[in-house]
Amino acid sequence: MNKIFSLVLLFFFANPVFAFDREEQAVIALYEKINPAIVCVDSQISDGMSCGTGCIIDKNGTILTSAHVVDVGNSVVVTMSNGQNYNAKVIKKLGENKDIALLKIDVPTELKTVKLGDSEKIKVGQKVLAIGNPFGFNGTLTQGIISRIDYTKNRIQTDAAINPGSSGGPLLNKNGEIIGINQAIYNPDNNISNIGIGFAIPINLVKEYLSEMDSS
């Protein structure tokens, strides 16, 4: 019996995939697929750096992020998931409540991209994932649900952890499609850390803004 038990343990540790259930395997696979298309966006300011996140939406180097991540910067540097750095140009920027910006980097090869989803189909209670660079911890994955949909203010509320540095990153559905761009956290006590209330701009609204950019 001990010999059989030892063989079972040996097989288990030699095949670590069996350590994860189906849901975990799906999340791991999604992260490994999407993370190469998520970048760190550093904008140089007078007293340091403003850090945020961006999503590669075009294989030639077009990056979607939040306008407030780059609106104070003298220069913008994008860091890929593999650590490669590129100087980025701000192509378009929509401030105020729109808070969307497009960056462009010149790359020698085609890049991995992330797909824009449909935020009209989202439901409260739906599981979501967020990938970003909170406090400079690149490629951080968090998970939660859609907590509330504010149709008046066009905001998706989620309990997936979003912190400073996560702005501009994707809120993803289980298919790995962007349903929102993470924008802000609720901090009534002026605490800069997450308390379980974060907000994202619905991706359909972002797509409208992108269309406006293209036609302008």
Residue 77 pLDDT class (50, 70, 90 cuts): very high
Q: For 181-212, what is each residue's pLDDT tens digit? A: 999 877 666 666 667 789 999 999 999 988 87
Residue 82 neighbours by CB under 8 Å, 6+ apart:
36
195 SS3 class? coil
Q: For 150-171, what is each residue's pLDDT tens digit? A: 989 999 999 999 988 999 999 9
Domains of the chain as residue ranges with CATH: 119-212 (2.40.10.10)
Q: Which residues are catalytic?
A: 68, 99, 167
Q: For 5-40, what is each residue's pLDDT tens digit? A: 555 555 555 555 558 889 999 999 999 999 999 999
Long-range contacts of residues 123-129, Cβ cutoff 8 Å, at least 24 apart: 124/148, 124/149, 126/173, 127/173, 127/174, 128/158, 128/160, 128/171, 128/172, 128/173, 128/179, 129/27, 129/30, 129/31, 129/160, 129/171, 129/172, 129/174
